[in-house]
């Protein structure tokens, strides 16, 4: 067994410290972007980055960046990290594990006096989940130039607060356009698998080859409100009833199409939202994932066809908006090979696999050679307060991350 360079104990301390910055203590980690919990987490991260010898700044999209200068500062950057925001009542590892592992890798380089030719940057991204503003991957999309300043006023949270206002209140002068980067050579993200495969096979490391595409739709159903006691059943145009049928149809359609595609309705709201009034306005989300764009298209087209039938049957109006789209992404073969070499040298078992979950790496792959290292998570549970990864498993991933980033930062060529 090779001598490990990262510290399991330090990874544990960081994960446990960051898990405390939640708005739902005792009920999972809830750390929405540009909130007090996010501020406290950033303060902790900034301190750890500075102690690891990194020069820290917060960019104009609210991303914390710690830079380790290269012996040739003009060379493009090798970046590592993940996101620090969470879903509501989520776990302590989704995103955070990748931030903490990247900081630990930087600590090891600092302590050993590692000489990197390329500058290395560690990032703590935010609003990857889209929990607050319903549009994920804010940090990475800004870096990749996939989101512009228009979003600052277009995106609003559930209280109607714009992204611009939330960022200003957080102390950032928002400018998504200015956060765009064109000097990144490679991006490496460690993440928990969020699925059961690695644990079931007893494998240490997942080398991600493809990330499934994701299309998010907002469906609006407009009917007519009326008295719950006096409106005969055949005279109703009940928006909530129609929505329920579309949701059921969504499930049926995806099961029929198969091909590994999945669809989820995770959010719904009905107005006027009163027990004795028929609903006249319902909005809900549909999150569709598939390994190919044509499968995503097939699923939504079939759902829309069913919705047209339901619209007529229930005398309502149904419309679809498509606020967020991430096409399926193939990650870098070269970085996949470096992950494999590093895992093999460290004596870790590994498999190649695809990711059903979305990641910042999808956006980063637009501008940089991008690779992902998966580590097992218990029972495959994620987006849940029971999410768990053993620290020894996380440390193996951190060792691989360290080795891959060291190699990338010394290689020549952009």
Q: Provide the angle, in degrees to the nearest 10, between the axes of the packed helices 36-51 and 96-112.
A: 20
* Phi, psi dihedral angles at 190 (to 5 degrees): -90, 140
Residue 109 CB burial class (10 angstroms; 0-12, 13-18, ≥19) = buried
Closest separation in Å from C-beta 135 to ligand GLV: 11
Q: Choose the contact partner of 358 out of Mn ion, ligand GLV, none; CB within 5 to 8 A by kind.
A: ligand GLV
CB of 351 to ligand GLV, least distance (A): 20
The minimum distance between CB 108 and ligand GLV, in angstroms, equals: 28
Binding segment for Mn ion (CB under 5 A), chosen from 55-63, 66-74, 95-103, 243-251, is 95-103
Residues ≥6 apart with Cβ < 8 Å to 108? 5, 6, 114, 402
User: Rounded to an integer, what is the distance from CA 409 to the centroid of its chain?
Assistant: 25
> Cα 57–82–332 angle (5° rounding)?
115
The CA distance from 348 to 396, in Å, is 8
Q: Judged by CB, which is closer to ligand GLV: 358, or 405?
A: 358
Q: How far is the CB of 290 from ligand GLV (least distance, A)?
A: 13
CA distances from 358 to 91, 124, 163, 206 (A): 16, 16, 21, 15
Tokens of 128: 């990857």
In angstroms, the Cα distances linking 116 to 31, 80, 209, 336, 406 are 34, 14, 27, 20, 7
- CB of residue 78 vs ligand GLV: minimum separation in angstroms? 24
Judged by the rule CB under 6 A, the positions of this chain that interact with ligand GLV are 129, 357-358
Nearer to ligand GLV, 68 or 191 (CB): 191
CB of 246 to ligand GLV, least distance (A): 21
Which of 95, 195, 223, 376 binds Mn ion (CB under 5 A)? It is: 95
* Integer Cα distance of 17 and 21 in angstroms: 8
Closest approach of ligand GLV to the CB of residue 129, in Å:
6
Q: Tell me the C-alpha distance between 142 and 119, whole Å.
A: 20
> Residue 358 or 372: which CB sits closer to ligand GLV?
358
Q: Which of ligand GLV, Mn ion, none does residue 52 bind (CB under 5 to 8 Å by kind)?
A: none
User: Which C-beta is closer to ligand GLV: that of 37 or that of 129?
Assistant: 129
The rounded distance, in Å, linking the Cα atoms of 385 and 149 is 34
Least Cβ distance, residue 230 to ligand GLV (angstroms): 43
Cβ proximity to ligand GLV: between 82 and 116 the closer is: 82
- Indicate the residue among 214 and 253 with the shorter CB distance to Mn ion: 214
- Kind and range of the H or E element at 213? strand 213-222
Joined together, the tokens standing for residue 137 give 């991957």
Identity of the residue, 131 or 403, whose beta carbon is nearer to Mn ion in the bound complex: 131
Of 94 and 369, the one with the shorter C-beta distance to Mn ion is: 94
Residues 45, 63: Cα–Cα separation, whole Å: 11
Q: Are 206 and 374 in contact (CB under 8 A)?
A: yes
Of the two residues 189 and 199, which places its CB atom closer to Mn ion in the complex? 189
Strand partners of residue 120: 68, 78
Answer yes or no: are the C-beta atoms of 124 and 40 closer than 8 Å. Answer: no
Q: Does 94 bind Mn ion (CB under 5 A)?
A: yes
| Rounded CA separation 218/409 (Å) | 42
Confirm or reject binding of residue 369 to Mn ion (CB under 5 A).
Answer: no
Q: Which does 189 bind (CB under 5 to 8 A by kind): Mn ion, ligand GLV, none?
A: none
Closer to ligand GLV by Cβ: residue 106 or 377? 377
Q: In whole angstroms, how close is the CB of 367 to ligand GLV at the nearest point?
A: 20
Q: What tokens appear for 310 in the block?
A: 């339901």
Q: Whole-number minimum distance, CB 272 to ligand GLV, in Å?
A: 31
- Residues in contact with Mn ion by CB under 5 A are 94-95
């Amino acid at each position: 067994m090779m001598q490990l360079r990262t510290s399991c104990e330090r990874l544990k301390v960081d994960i446990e410290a960051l898990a405390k910055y939640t708005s739902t203590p005792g009920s999972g980690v809830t750390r929405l972007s540009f909130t007090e919990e996010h501020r406290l987490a950033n303060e902790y991260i900034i301190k750890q980055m500075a102690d690891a010898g990194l020069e820290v700044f917060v960019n104009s999209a609210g991303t914390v960046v710690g830079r380790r200068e290269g012996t040739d500062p003009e060379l493009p950057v090798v970046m590592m990290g993940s996101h620090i925001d969470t879903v509501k009542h989520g776990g302590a590892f989704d995103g955070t594990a990748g931030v903490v592992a990247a900081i630990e890798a930087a600590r090891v380089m600092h302590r050993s006096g590692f000489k990197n030719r390329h500058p290395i940057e560690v990032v703590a991204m935010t609003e990857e989940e889209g929990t607050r503003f319903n549009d994920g991957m804010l940090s990475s999309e800004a870096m990749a130039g996939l989101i512009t300043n228009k979003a600052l006023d277009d995106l609003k949270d559930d209280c109607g607060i714009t992204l611009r206002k939330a960022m200003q209140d957080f102390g950032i002068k928002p400018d998504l356009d200015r956060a765009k980067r064109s000097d990144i050579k490679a991006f490496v993200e460690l993440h928990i698998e969020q699925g059961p495969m690695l644990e079931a096979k007893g494998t240490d490391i997942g080398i991600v080859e493809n990330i499934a595409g994701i299309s998010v739709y907002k469906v609006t159903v407009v009917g007519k409100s009326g008295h719950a006691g006096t409106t005969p059943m055949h005279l109703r145009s009940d928006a909530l009833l129609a929505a329920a049928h579309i949701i059921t149809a969504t499930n049926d359609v995806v099961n029929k199409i198969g091909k590994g595609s999945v669809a989820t309705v995770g959010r719904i709201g009905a107005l006027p939202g009163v027990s004795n009034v028929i609903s006249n306005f319902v909005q809900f989300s549909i999150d569709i994932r598939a390994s190919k764009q044509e499968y995503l298209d097939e699923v939504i087209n079939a759902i829309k066809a069913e919705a047209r039938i339901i619209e007529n049957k229930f005398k309502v109006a149904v419309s679809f908006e498509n606020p967020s789209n991430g096409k399926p992404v193939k990650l870098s073969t070269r970085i996949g090979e470096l992950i494999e070499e590093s895992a093999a040298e460290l004596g870790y078992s590994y498999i190649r696999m695809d990711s059903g979950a979305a990641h910042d790496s999808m956006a980063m792959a637009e501008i940089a050679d991008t690779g992902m290292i998966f580590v097992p998570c218990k029972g495959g549970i994620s987006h849940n307060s029971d999410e768990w990864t053993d620290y020894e498993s996380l440390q193996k991933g951190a060792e691989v991350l360290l080795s891959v980033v060291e190699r990338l930062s010394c290689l020549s060529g952009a």
